[in-house]
């Protein structure tokens, strides 16, 4: 919602979920208003089946009277405890720090790097990790650290320990698996819950696992797709952030599916990243609430 | 957001637009909360360029203390005047009353009637008006009045007078032009501002006016589309509610475009109607705000 | 490719598949040309993996010298045997005869009937079979026979025998399952190979079987779809003719998915029917070749 | 249609258009067959309104008896003259040579370079021309010549002369305007008829000219799009090769349209390039015939 003519002011964003109850929206907006905040965007959603409440609210901090350092505590005391909220607080001037994992297919990585370098995303990319050397040059050109960490069955545990150390050193908030062809361990995944974004090259739940384009060809589908989701311990079964598809024809061989699919993968992954880094995604019961 | 297992309670919906100012959301939600309402859905939007505020809020009336008959006045006094709001109030048990105008192309009408008869829409259709007899049988079967009113250059003013009388007699809230091939007069349009929904068989603003599929063929476009919009005095230039497209190929002749286009017309028109009768559309500066 | 200005002449269409070999196109076009036929449309495709050849060719019969009654034999002798072709021959003035099976969801049936009555399709619909009475009135209005044949576990075999007799009596060429909620027996399916068109309310192979919209909601997908396929003995696993999808949001509950899905089901089924009755579909190894 | 397992043999491709007449397909396939060619792909189309014939045929040269150097003459003598054909002949081992023009928006260029470097396209890119220095580094990295040629009203004629000389020196076959913000002269355009591919950031014919996203926002459309077309003398009115769209919402400001539009521009342009370099596009009466 930013407009180049009117640069975005410093703002705070809250992502909230809690059991639904009367007056929640009123309580939250009162907290913001009575402390001098001006709401920029508010979107809420109630899951009627579970009576569960979700909200994203962003407000201008220009005249807000609670100091940033005290805001989390103040919100917790005033509202979060009473309503048993799960919540996350972000400030607009804190850029997310994103690491990218890649193997040998470079199309998603190249797409991400081009967006990053052109300033399309308000994000910092300090680190790319790969089990191959293919992308080293492209990554180092803009000054990003490229950690080449080959993985074998035997070294997997050690390599993940090194990866986690690197991620910590770079204070990484979010990890993007841009066609990283290794399965992460439970230990790794649980270190970044709802913060590892994967792109899978099928419209899940169809064709999970390896070689989905081959499976799609064999099944004779008329659409192929891509799915971006948060990584959970169960393979290709995490909460879906974004999906899209493209039509194919009988004359498309597997190679054609791969080629057409790449374009969908790039776009779907980049939309998922955009939403995540703009703090528009909440996870609840393995589903996502994606605010516009 | 209704769920068959938990039937929707009686609710009220407010559509509001006004100049943006600090605390508006808080004021509105306080009004609802302190009078015993429980918010079911709330969506707001701020046009940053114009600093204009839009909101749709629906709340459960079960424990609401202000009587229905007094609600409009109460809201006006409490909030609307202060904030210079334009607003509309609806109750969930007041079904919109919809009239349909049609000429000789029946696909949109048949689609609407099938939805109506299957109970897909919470609406009443008391009247169909046509300048031809073609659809008479299909319309009368479910017991809808069919007014056959042929139009010539000379009778146009008189016919519109008769149409307006019929609409008034049937207390019609919204008019759907389901491929009605007559241009309505300014007098007529202004009697139902933002309440006449048209379907145009192109992705406007491309190909306004007559024979858009022929124009699309001649221009060699690779997509064709349909646009549903509120009718304004300027032809095919009113606020757009919904649009969609379908891909076409060089081998599609004009007849193929017409055939493929019909399916888009039906779907686009029905989506626009759905949004209107669920009070999800606001008009501002010839654009629509469409809440989800 | 028909044009209203130039009415289609009487034509013949061949659908051919066989092992690929040099000169096949030349042989077929020579057969047509030397006998006085003028090709209206020709599309061919070679499956490179299997070296298998597919062709659809339609030609004008105005000056064709082989009598219609002798054409099949002539083609068989001249070409089909030598090249081990599987082939089907159609004449443009032989309208396909289509039966529709339906249960209680009427949206696909209503859509088909509206197209049928408006003359959109060059087809005859003599018969609708249902295990419920719901659609009886709508079907009988245009003079179609409505066979009400309720099915229980015990009567299933008998009912299918009655159904097959009805289909035979009406000389039905193609059967459309327009949301028919019964599983057909192997005996029934094998009586109409590649001639029973089903609509399944998911983007197969995701969510086969019952209640796909509920499964889609639970999985939290961001797209839902519909698939039209030929019925084979394995449930929801037959050759896919057409698929399409629509985007959904976190705020869409199961009811919303059902509502949005209906529109996709109608369009996908009607596109599949269109292709089948225009003889544009070939089946090979559980996949379809769909000529444009 | 290539398959990695079976590398494409050397092949020839003919693109043909001519007045329709009986036996054309037969004549062409006979020419290929009797000279030892094996057809790999054949697609034909007849414009019924104009009785005009179009064909794309590709055949294996392994056993073809006419030498490559003599093929054009042989075809001309045997068929082209008699049938008044316009035709183009290509050999699969002749890579198209592509120049790219760009100004300051780099997203399309970066997308093209990533595809080029990954070997997605069978093409050579010897030259990028720009009126700005922004993209110089990205272009020079893979060893492509970057010609920085700023343009003013006064120097335009001279600059185009230099551009044409560069294009000739690099033996360029096709020019891609990847968001090049200068209008080319008639002289320039006529030097590369149907060989200059532009990407326009709207679904033409809607919003031609400058600032289409601003116009789209003002009109309140619910879809935005991109159009790739061959450049002709009339601005944004050339034959359309490919179009696609993306849905937008009332909450999308102009910046959002620009961001969403970029992804469509990249994909649409790359699809158009793919088709052109695979010799799948024919131009006729300002429309394109695009073979699959």
- Cβ contact, residue pair D4, A255, below 8 Å: yes
The answer to whether residue A243 neighbours chain C at the CB level (below 8 Å) is yes
Residues comprising chain A, all counted: 292
- Per-residue pLDDT of A43-67, as tens digits, reads 999 998 899 999 999 999 999 999 9
By the CB < 8 Å criterion, does D292 face chain A? yes
A133–chain B Cβ distance below 8 A for any pair:
no
Q: Does D74 touch chain C (CB under 8 A)?
A: no
- pTM here is 0.95
> D168: closest CA among D193, D191, D139, D194?
D191
D25: CB partners within 8 A, 6+ apart: C25, C29, C33, C39, C42, D44, D55
Closest CA–CA distance from residue D43 to any residue of chain A (Å): 12
Among chain B residues, CA nearest to D50: B253
CB atoms within 10 A of CB C74: 15
What is the arithmetic mean of pLDDT over A94-101?
97
Q: State whether C250 and A45 contact (CB < 8 Å).
A: yes
Name the nearest CA neighbour of D17 among D238, D282, D288.
D282
Alpha-carbon gap: B45 to the closest alpha carbon of chain C (Å): 17
Q: What is the spatial distance between Cα B223 and Cα C31, in angstroms, rounded to a whole number?
A: 38
Which long-range contacts link A89-93 to residues 24+ away (Cβ below 8 Å)? Answer: A89/A12, A89/A13, A89/A14, A90/A12, A90/A13, A90/A15, A90/A279, A91/A10, A91/A11, A91/A12, A91/A13, A91/A61, A92/A8, A92/A10, A92/A11, A92/A12, A92/A13, A92/A58, A93/A10
Q: pLDDT tens, B167-179?
A: 999 999 999 999 9
Q: With cut-offs at 50, 70 and 90, classify the pLDDT of residue A8.
A: low
pLDDT tens digit string along D243-257?
999 999 999 999 999
Q: What is the mean pLDDT of chain A?
A: 95
Percent of chain A topping pLDDT 90? 95
Q: What is the pLDDT of residue C2?
A: 39
**How does residue B292 score in pLDDT terms, banded at 50, 70 and 90?**
confident
At residue A31, φ and ψ (nearest 5 deg) are -55, -45
Q: Could you tell me if B206 lies within 8 Å of chain D, comparing CB atoms? A: yes
Residue D292: predicted pLDDT: 85
Question: How far away is chain C from the Cα of D83, in angstroms, using its nearest Cα?
Answer: 15
Asked if the C-beta of C46 comes within 8 angstroms of chain D's C-beta atoms, the answer is yes
- Specify the DSSP class assigned to residue D76: I
High-pLDDT (> 90) share of chain B, % = 95
Catalytic residue list of B: 236
Average pLDDT over residues D19-40: 95
pLDDT of A11-53, one tens digit each?
Answer: 999 999 999 999 999 999 999 999 999 999 999 999 988 999 9
A256/D1 touch (CB, cutoff 8 Å), yes or no: yes
Residue to mutate among B48, B219, B222, B289, with most D CBs inside 10 A, is B222
- For residue D1, count other CB atoms closer than 10 A to its CB: 17
pLDDT at B4: 41
- Which residues 6+ apart lie within 8 Å of B98 measured at CB? B123, B124, B125, B172, B173, B174, B175, B176, B273, B277
Nearest chain D residue to B291 by CA: give it.
D250
Kindly give the interhelix angle for D254-277 and D107-117, rounded to the nearest 10 degrees: 40
Assign 3-state DSSP to chain A and report helix, strand, coil percentages, each to 5: 30, 30, 40
With an 8 Å Cβ cutoff, is B1 touching chain A?
yes
Name the residue of chain C whose CA is nearest to D28's CA: C26
A50 phi, psi to nearest 5 deg: -100, 0
DSSP D220-266: T-SEEEEEEEE--SSTT-SPEEEEEEEE--TT--HHHHHHHHHHHHH
ipTM over 0.90 threshold: yes
CA angle B258, B262, B265 (to 5 degrees): 130
How confident is the model at residue C277, as a pLDDT? Answer: 98
D225 to chain B: closest CA residue: B223
Among residues B194, B196, B134, the alpha carbon closest in space to that of B160 is found at B196
Is D288 in Cβ contact with B220 (below 8 Å)?
Answer: yes
Q: Is B225 on the interface with D (CB under 8 A)?
A: yes
Q: Which residue has the tokens 């009443």?
A: B124
Q: What is the pLDDT of residues B87-108, one digit of tens each?
A: 999 999 999 999 999 999 999 9
**CA distances (Å), origin B196, targets B97, B99, B185, B273, C214:** 12, 10, 12, 10, 36
A23 contact B CB<8A: yes
Q: How far B190 CA sits from the closest chain C CA (Å)?
A: 33
Burial class (CB in 10 A: 0-12, 13-18, 19+), B67: exposed
Residues of A with Cβ-Cβ distance to D110 under 8 angstroms:
110, 114, 118
Q: How many CB atoms lie within 10 A of CB D171?
A: 9
Measured CA distances, B223 to B243, D207, D260 (Å): 12, 15, 18
For the segment B226-275, what is each residue's pLDDT rounded down to a tens digit? 999 999 999 999 999 999 999 999 999 999 999 999 999 999 999 999 99
Predicted pLDDT at C4: 41
Residues 6+ apart with CB under 8 A from C35: C64, C65, C66
Nearest CA among C292, D34, D82 for reference residue B251: C292
The closest CB to that of B120, out of C1, C254, C259, belongs to: C259
The residue from D20, D236, D256, D263 that is catalytic is: D236
Count of other CB atoms within 10 angstroms of residue B139 = 24
CA C91/CA D195 separation, integer angstroms: 42
Summarised one tens digit per residue, pLDDT across range D76-86 is 999 999 999 99
C-alpha D183 chain-centroid distance: 18
Q: What is the pLDDT of residue D141?
A: 86
d(CA A266, CA A264) in angstroms, rounded, equals 5
Q: Which residues of B touch C141 (CB under 8 A)?
A: 141
Compute the distance between CA of residue B31 and CA of residue B10 in angstroms, rounded to an integer: 18
Is the bond leading into B34 cis (omega within 30 degrees of zero)? no
Select from B104, B102, B74, B107 the least CA-distant residue to B89: B74
Q: Is residue D4 within 8 angstroms of chain A, CB to CB?
A: yes
DSSP single-letter state for residue C196: E
Q: CB pairs below 8 Å between B and C: how many?
A: 49
The reported pLDDT for the residue numbered A292 is 85
Helix (H) or strand (E) holding D115: helix D107-117
In which band, very low, low, confident or very high, does the pLDDT at D62 lie, cut at 50, 70 and 90? very high
Which pLDDT does position C7 carry in this prediction? 53
Contact assignment for B26 to A26 by CB distance below 8 Å: yes
**Backbone dihedral region of D179: left (phi > 0), alpha (psi from -120 to 50 degrees) or beta?**
left
Please provide the DSSP assignment of chain B as one string.
--BTTBPPPPEEEEEEEEE--TTHHHHHHHHHHHTT-EEEEEEEEEETTTTEEEEEEEEE-TT--S-HHHHHHHHIIIIITTTT-EEEEEETTS--EEEEEE-S--HHHHHHHHHHHTT-SS-EEEEEEESSSTTHHHHHTTT-EEEE----TTTHHHHHHHHHHHHHHTT--EEEESS--SPPPHHHHHHSTT-EEEEESS-TTSS-SS-HHHHHHHHT-SEEEEEEEE--SSTT-SPEEEEEEEE--TT--HHHHHHHHHHHHHHHHHHHHHHHHTT-EEEETTEEEE--
pLDDT along chain C (292 residues), means of 10: 52 97 94 95 91 96 96 96 96 96 97 94 97 95 95 95 98 98 97 98 96 97 98 97 97 96 97 98 97 90
Nearest Cα of chain B lies from the Cα of C16 at a distance, in angstroms, of 21
Taking CA–CA distances from B42, the nearest residue in chain C reads C251
Task: Please confirm, yes or no, whether D173 is among the known catalytic residues.
Answer: no
Provide the shortest C-alpha distance from residue C171 to chain D (in Å): 34
Question: For the segment A152-189, what is each residue's pLDDT rounded down to a tens digit?
Answer: 999 999 999 999 999 999 999 999 999 999 999 999 99
Question: Phi and psi (nearest 5°) for C282?
Answer: -120, 145
Q: Is D92 left (phi over 0), alpha (psi -120 to 50) or beta?
A: alpha
Q: By the CB < 8 Å criterion, does A247 face chain D?
A: no
List chain D residues with CB under 8 Å of A118. Answer: 106-107, 110
């Amino acid at each position: 919602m930013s407009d180049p003519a009117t640069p975005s002011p410093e703002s705070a964003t809250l992502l909230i979920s809690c059991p639904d109850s009367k007056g929640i929206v009123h309580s939250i907006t009162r907290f913001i208003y009575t402390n001098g905040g001006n709401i920029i965007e508010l979107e809420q959603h109630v899951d009627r089946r579970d009576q569960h409440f979700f909200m994203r609210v962003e407000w201008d901090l220009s005249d807000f009277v609670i100091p940033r350092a005290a805001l989390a505590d103040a919100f917790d005391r005033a509202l979060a405890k009473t309503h048993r909220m799960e919540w996350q607080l972000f400030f607009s001037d804190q850029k997310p720090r994103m690491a990218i994992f890649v193997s040998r297919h470079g199309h998603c990585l190249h797409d991400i790097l081009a967006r990053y370098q052109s300033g399309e995303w308000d994000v910092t990319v300090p680190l790319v990790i790969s089990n191959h050397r293919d992308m080293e040059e492209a990554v180092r050109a803009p000054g990003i650290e490229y950690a080449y960490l080959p993985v074998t069955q035997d070294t997997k545990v050690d390599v993940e320990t090194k990866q986690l150390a690197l991620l910590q050193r770079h204070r990484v908030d979010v990890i993007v698996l841009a066609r990283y062809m290794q399965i992460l361990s439970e230990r790794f995944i649980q270190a970044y819950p709802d913060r590892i974004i994967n792109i899978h090259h099928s419209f899940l739940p169809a064709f999970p696992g390896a070689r989905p384009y081959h499976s799609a060809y064999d099944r004779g589908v008329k659409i192929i797709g891509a799915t971006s989701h948060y990584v959970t311990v169960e393979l290709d079964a995490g909460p879906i952030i974004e999906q899209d598809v493209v039509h194919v024809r009988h004359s498309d061989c597997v190679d054609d599916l791969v080629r057409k699919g790449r374009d969908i993968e790039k776009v779907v992954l980049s939309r998922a990243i955009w939403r995540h880094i703009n703090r528009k995604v909440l996870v609840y019961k393995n589903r996502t609430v994606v605010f516009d």
